[in-house]
Structure 1
Amino acid sequence: MSQRNIITLSDVSLVTCMVQRKLADDVIRSAQDVGAQGATVHFAHGVGAHELLGILSVAVDVEKEVINILVPDGEIDQVFESMFLAGKLDTPGMGYIYVTKLEKAATYVHPEVLAELGIKT
């Protein structure tokens, strides 16, 4: 039986961005343009904010897309800024973005990448 190794990543953070529906593709593309590798998207339904902003006569769509991207710590600022701008998050009711430092993450890492990092399998 072959031995299986778990390669853990410790210098990564999770960038989570909630945006209006149909903006996720643009936000992901902008993150990839500055080096992000992939993303996970799921749908959500917001509650509360649309009522508040309705007073200001701002129409807010409560259907949202939530984007999660694992990012190396050295690339967080670029990815964060790119996603913020692509999601138009400086506009009321468009969504929000935050970063969560991860203690440990694991996934498949291609052997060539491991070799470049000097990790023997």
Structure 2
Amino acid sequence: MAKKEIVVLTDVALITAIVQRGKADAIVKAAQEAGAQGASIHYSHGRGVRERLGILGLAVEAEKEVINIIVSRDQTDRIFEKIYLAGDFDTPGMGFMWVTPVEKAATFVPPDILEKFAQQDRRSPERRRRS
């Protein structure tokens, strides 16, 4: 049996956004248009100052959607900005987002993509030093 080889990605970051329920699909679409390959979305229940902002102190919906997107480091700023704009993060109570450096990640990478990266590494001494 052939030994399996783990393909480890090292130049990646995790963008996480907590948004109002029902906003995630539009935000992920904007991220994909900016170059993101996909996203994971799950539901969450939040607590905090914002849940009592409704009229007459009535509770504001605390159900949230959490979006996780792994992106290459060179795409991070562009995709972060698109998510910010699509999610109206400049409006109070619309959500919170952040970027987390990822030390390493693993997933299936098609052989043609691996070859493309190998060719880039052979041409770029700078890229080899960062790995």
Per the normalisation by structure 2, the TM-score is 0.83
- Separation in structure 1 between the aligned mates of residue 113 and residue 100 of structure 2, nearest angstrom: 25
Alignment CA distance shift 1:59-1:27 (3 Å): farther
Q: Would you say 1:79 and 2:72 are equivalent positions?
A: no
Cα RMSD between the aligned structures?
2.0
Per the alignment, residue 88 of structure 2 pairs with 88
Alignment CA distance shift 1:3-1:56 (3 Å): farther
- Separation in structure 2 between the aligned mates of residue 41 and residue 10 of structure 1, nearest angstrom: 23
Identity %: 50
Which segment is superposed worse, 43-52 or 33-42? 43-52
Give the deviation of 1:83 after TM superposition. 0.4
Give matches, 1:1-121, under 5 Å: 1-51=1-51, 53-54=53-54, 60-118=60-118
| Unaligned segments of structure 1, at least 5 residues | none
| Unaligned segments of structure 2, at least 5 residues | 120-131
- The ranges of structure 1 where at least 4 consecutive aligned residues each deviate by more than 2 angstroms after the TM superposition are 49-61
How many residue pairs get aligned? The number is: 119
- Separation in structure 2 between the aligned mates of residue 20 and residue 37 of structure 1, nearest angstrom: 22
Per the normalisation by structure 1, the TM-score is 0.90
Q: Which has the higher helix share?
A: 2
| Contact 1:60/1:93 (8 A) holds in 2 | no
